[in-house]
Homo-oligomer: A and B are copies of this chain.
């Protein structure tokens, strides 16, 4: 059984929801969890919930990186923070993969500092999930987009590697046998988007192992049609945050409308549960988190707002990715490029 290291102190609701999530995973699975953080506070939470002590061990450390701290400073100077103690545990083989709901920038930098890039991989990518229109019953309502912030600008070669990494991950985790991979661009034509995107498109089209469906534009993002969306970090970051902000604005605009028309107001009140459900989706509670890909060790980054359910699911996702050898599969796909 894989051993998963969990940063108990990272996240808006840490350590409470993180520890409760691990407690839940300890009852529902045989995964061994290494909880890294303030032992006294971890124990306090564990006393309030049922859990299986056989599957949980604690690594005590007193420092923790805050959600709003400067990631560079923190990763450089705070070697005893829970996040960094946990990544070292993974790097040294005491655990097989890692889960954190903490400071995103610090998570990416901690990987870069303690993990090794897979052979042939030029740069790591931070993936995320976003809700999309489902095309058939039972389809995963979330698609994967990468990179969303580990990089800023990317070269064609790097985008191609992101495509391979995303495809390998989606195949194993979302259980899509042949994930449709698309390149985010300003037009569907192969000639669009400038030198880098044109070169990336040309290379992706020639790869038989990849189900490349071509370029997608902003409006296609929401409609579905692809399981993995590839883009450079600046673009992915803006898009992801825009999607997160949209539900909020929709509620606002609709509320303004509601103030003017009674029928709209009634409609809104009734729709509130539906909006809540949409928000849950973007909160990853079902999905458990999204991976940082490209390193020898897998890192599942949970949303900062993650609750116990999200954390439990992230632990399961991390364990599944270890069992299914996702990093090795990525390395093989990249090696076959040569």
- Which of B222, B242, B267 is A271 in contact with, Cβ under 8 Å? B267
Give the distance to chain B from A15, nearest Cβ to Cβ, in Å: 26
Is A336 positioned at the interface, with any CB of B under 8 Å from its CB?
A: no
- Which of B197, B243, B258, B272 is A274 in contact with, Cβ under 8 Å? B258
Interface residues of A in 229-282 (CB under 8 A from B): 233-235, 237-250, 252-254, 256-258, 261, 263-264, 266-275, 277-278
Contact between A223 and B235, CB atoms less than 8 A apart: no
Is A28 positioned at the interface, with any CB of B under 8 Å from its CB?
A: no
| Interface SS, A side | helix
**Of all chain B residues, which has the CB nearest A153?**
B194
- Which of B238, B245, B258 is A184 in contact with, Cβ under 8 Å? B238
Is A74 positioned at the interface, with any CB of B under 8 Å from its CB?
A: no
CA distance A241 to B186 in the complex (A): 9
Contact between A245 and B274, CB atoms less than 8 A apart: no
Number of copies: 2
Which of A4-12, A57-65, A109-117, A130-138 touches B?
A130-138
CA distance A266 to B153 in the complex (A): 46
Contact between A245 and B220, CB atoms less than 8 A apart: yes
Interface size on A, residues (CB 8 A): 58
- Inter-chain contacts of A153 with B (CB < 8 A): 194
CA distance A220 to B249 in the complex (A): 10
- Which of B186, B221, B222, B249 is A222 in contact with, Cβ under 8 Å? B249
- Inter-chain contacts of A253 with B (CB < 8 A): 131, 133, 274, 278
A257/B238 contact (C-beta < 8 A), A133-B249, A249-B222 known: no
Give the distance to chain B from A110, nearest Cβ to Cβ, in Å: 18
- Inter-chain contacts of A194 with B (CB < 8 A): 152-153, 234
**Of all chain B residues, which has the CB nearest A242?**
B218
CA distance A273 to B247 in the complex (A): 18
CA distance A46 to B224 in the complex (A): 43
Give the distance to chain B from A283, nearest Cβ to Cβ, in Å: 14
A149/B186 contact (C-beta < 8 A), A133-B253, A263-B270 known: yes
Is A77 positioned at the interface, with any CB of B under 8 Å from its CB?
A: no
Contact between B264 and A273, CB atoms less than 8 A apart: yes
Contact between A217 and B238, CB atoms less than 8 A apart: yes
**Of all chain B residues, which has the CB nearest A152?**
B194
CA distance A235 to B232 in the complex (A): 10
Is A193 positioned at the interface, with any CB of B under 8 Å from its CB?
A: yes
CA distance A194 to B235 in the complex (A): 12
CA distance A235 to B240 in the complex (A): 12
A222/B245 contact (C-beta < 8 A), A268-B271, A271-B264 known: yes
Contacts beyond the supplied A218-B245, A246-B250: 4 A-B pairs with Cβ under 8 Å: A219-B242, A219-B244, A254-B275, A258-B274
Task: Provide a sorted-by-A list of 15 A–B residue pairs whose CB atoms are within 8 angstroms.
Answer: A133-B249, A152-B193, A194-B234, A217-B238, A218-B237, A218-B243, A219-B244, A219-B245, A219-B248, A222-B246, A222-B248, A254-B275, A263-B273, A267-B271, A267-B272
Binding site for B on A (CB under 8 A): 131-134, 149, 152-153, 184-186, 193-194, 197, 217-223, 233-235, 237-250, 252-254, 256-258, 261, 263-264, 266-275, 277-278
4 tightest A-B CB contacts, nearest first: A267-B270, A218-B241, A219-B245, A218-B242
